[in-house]
């Protein structure tokens, strides 16, 4: 009895020194932690956009210094030519009197992409949106800083293919980004890095698996 009494007294002393120890949750091997969110890709988007803008500005500067307006230079015969062209409208010279409208649309696109950047966690979408952002910015720079200025400036185009309007690197970047965006959407990849169908309730999935195992 004396030994039992001493054990009980020792146990009560430990409880007084460490209150709440008995209530501590017991960790089990089955406890699962939520997956860490993917890192944001805003910096990647900005880097891609900067590369596109710099490449577009550099090639336009070279075209202005080395090419004469409307005089094609054959590179691959008639399949690929370099032709300096001052575009005051859209493709195929459409909408030449609405240049400012196209400029405002591109500014709206730039603002919307900047808004999406905080949700961006997909590498593929970061590249695609960065290419669109850089392409839109490259042409908007021409609209603002080339005569006649104030959103009405003429865009410098210099790449010509058969049966296609003359374009520049900014235009090609936007087109390639559109193709990439379609592929990402077709694969079900969202801009936050998730995939379509990944948001299914885990509890429902486990119940369904348990039901199948019991049958």
Burial letters for 128-143: b for 16+ Cβ neighbours within 10 Å, e otherwise?
A: bbbbbbbbbbbbbbbb
CA 24 to CA 34: how far, in whole Å?
21
Q: Which residue is it, tokens 């240049």?
A: 99
CA 156 to CA 88: how far, in whole Å?
9
* Nearest Cα residue to 47 out of 139, 160, 127: 127
Catalytic residue selected from 157, 192, 199, 201: 157
Instruction: Tell me the two tokens of residue 101.
Output: 């409208």
Catalytic residue selected from 171, 192, 198, 201: 171
Q: What is the DSSP string of 105-131?
A: HHHHHHHHHHHHGGG---HHHHHHHHH
201 tagged catalytic: no
171 tagged catalytic: yes
β-pairing, 155-160 vs 80-87, is: antiparallel
Question: Strand order of the sheet with strand 80-87?
Answer: 73-76, 80-87, 155-160
Catalytic sites, residue numbers:
157, 171
């Amino acid at each position: 009895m004396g030994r039992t009494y001493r054990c009980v007294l020792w146990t009560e002393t430990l409880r007084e020194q460490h209150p709440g120890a008995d209530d501590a949750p017991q960790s089990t091997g089955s406890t699962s932690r939520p997956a860490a969110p993917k890192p944001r890709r805003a910096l990647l988007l900005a880097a891609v956009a900067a590369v596109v803008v710099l490449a577009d500005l550099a090639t336009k500067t070279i075209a202005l210094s080395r090419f004469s307006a409307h005089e094609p230079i054959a590179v691959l015969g008639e399949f690929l030519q370099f032709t300096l062209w001052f575009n005051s409208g859209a493709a195929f010279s459409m909408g030449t009197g609405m240049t400012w409208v196209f400029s405002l649309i591109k500014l709206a696109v730039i603002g919307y992409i900047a808004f999406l950047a905080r949700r961006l966690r997909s590498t593929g979408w970061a590249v695609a949106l960065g290419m669109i952002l850089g392409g839109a910015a490259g042409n908007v720079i021409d609209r603002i800083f080339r005569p006649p200025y104030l959103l009405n400036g003429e865009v410098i185009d210099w790449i010509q293919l058969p049966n296609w309007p003359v374009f520049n690197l900014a235009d090609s970047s936007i087109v390639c980004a559109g193709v990439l965006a379609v592929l990402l959407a077709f694969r079900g990849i969202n801009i936050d890095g998730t995939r379509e169908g990944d948001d299914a309730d885990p509890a429902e999935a486990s119940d369904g698996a348990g039901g199948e195992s019991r049958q």
